[in-house]
Structure 1
Amino acid sequence: MPELLCHPHSPSRVARAVSAQATRTPDGKLSLHYALHGEVARMNIAPPAAPRIGWKLWRRTCCEVFVRADGEGGYHEFNFSPSGEWAAYAFTGYREGTSLLDETLNPQVAVESRDERLDLYALVDLARLSPPYARGRLRLGLAVIIEEHNGGMSYWALKHAQGKPDFHHRDAFALELDEVRH
């Protein structure tokens, strides 16, 4: 599973490593797996809740994926909390035209936690998000935000753009999923 890089402006005192993986299933779903290694007890993890849309999940520990069709300017963002809450947004361009997507997307989120590791699994129906996403070539940005009990935040991604942490930046869409062909 590819390791995510901690942004140099926000080092973590509690996470040793973070990794993430994304694959497309044969039926057009996006399967995501995030693994957070370190002092999980010192991470600010939201308690379990009913699966539902959450608000401002990025203010606490959460896993994120940014999805866009190759060559397109618009994109979608998903936030997954270890609580089971999730949020989804649609953008027409870089941080533009955002709208919160509705509960019909209903991604599946599961979490496993042990002493030194937290695993979050998510499954998103790409056809519900945008029919071309189910089979077309995609660019993804995989990211994790970790909030520590002392209030410190660290930002992890496959690739960081220059400057402050910015998962929306085009350079952060570093993972490519090939077009599905029959």
Structure 2
Amino acid sequence: MTVEHRMDLRCHASAHSETVRAIGVLVRRSAGAELQMTFRLDGDIPRIRVCPPGASRIGTQLWRHTCFEAFIAVEGQPAYHEFNFAPSGEWAVYAFSGYRNGGPVANEMMRPQIAVRSTGSRLELDTIVRLDCLSAIHPRASLRIGLSAVIEASDGLSYWALRHPADKPDFHDADGFALLLKPPGPA
């Protein structure tokens, strides 16, 4: 059995974008310990700055440019992981024991699968994260998920998330981990 959710990200009030009309996310959690996400950005794609596609590799400071993100925490626990997915194919994983207390994880075993499709009005990024690479608990636990995006466009940076709990964009705020994702039941 697969658990599926569709939701829209909201632009933070501090940064308006005329280039981006909407960002939606489809999240699927399978019994096979996979978390699949499809980020769909609708807008004036030629005005969005995206690095050209390249080999899948670990990147740094991906959040400074167009990047989609997922924050994954076991329900009731302060520890969480942050995944960054760039349309270029670069990715990054960070592990935190609590709010912003942690850093990068350079482990190729955590490499997400990333596929990108683009037209003049839509950019889609599909990714798959293996929950069993985070811990033995993640595949069978209820998870709190924060979904977000930083979009670099000709009209500036905009910050998108399921929920913005603060006056300034802060994707690490656990109050923004707005999706409760229960483990899938037996098939």
Partner of 1:74: 79
What one-letter code is carried by the residue in structure 2 that aligns with 1:30?
A: L
Matches within 5 A, 1:30-69: 30-69=35-74
Of 27, 30, 35, the residue aligned with 1:25 is: 30
Map Cα deviations across residues 82-125 of structure 1 (whole Å, 9 max, x no partner): 00110000001000022324111121000000110000000011
Residue 180 to residue 101, structure 1, CA distance change in 2 (3 Å): farther
Q: Percent identity?
A: 45
**Runs of at least 5 residues in structure 1 that lack an aligned partner in the other structure:** none
Q: Provide the residue aligned with 1:13 in structure 2.
A: 18
Rounded to whole Å, the distance in 1 between the matches of 2:147 and 2:135 is 19
The offset of 1:163, in angstroms, is 1.1
Q: Secondary structure at the match of 2:138?
A: helix
Q: Partner amino acid for 1:111?
A: V
User: Scaled by the length of structure 1, what TM-score is found?
Assistant: 0.96
Q: In structure 2, what is the equivalent of residue 157 of structure 1?
A: 161
| SS of equivalent to 1:73 | coil
What's the counterpart of residue 99 of structure 2?
Answer: 94
SS in structure 1 at match of 2:89: coil
Match of 1:169 among 167, 173, 177: 173
Counterpart CA distance in 1 for 2:11 and 2:29 is: 25
For normalisation by structure 2, the TM-score amounts to: 0.93
Cα distance, 1:67 vs. partner?
0.1
Look up the SS of the partner of 1:34 in the other structure. Answer: strand
Matched with 2:182 is: 178
CA distance in 1, matches of 2:68, 2:54: 16
- Pick the structure with more strand per residue: 2
Tell whether 2:119 aligns with 1:114: yes
Instruction: Give 4+ residue runs of structure 1 displaced > 6 Å after superposition.
Output: none
Q: Secondary structure at the match of 1:82?
A: coil
Which one-letter code corresponds to 1:167 in the other structure? Answer: F
- Distance in structure 2 (CA, Å) of the matches to 1:40 and 1:99: 30
What is the aligned counterpart of 1:147 among 144, 152, 165?
152
CA contact (8 A) 1:136 1:180 kept: no
**The residue matched to 2:114 in structure 1 has which SS?**
strand
Q: CA RMSD in A?
A: 1.1
How many residues align? The count is 181
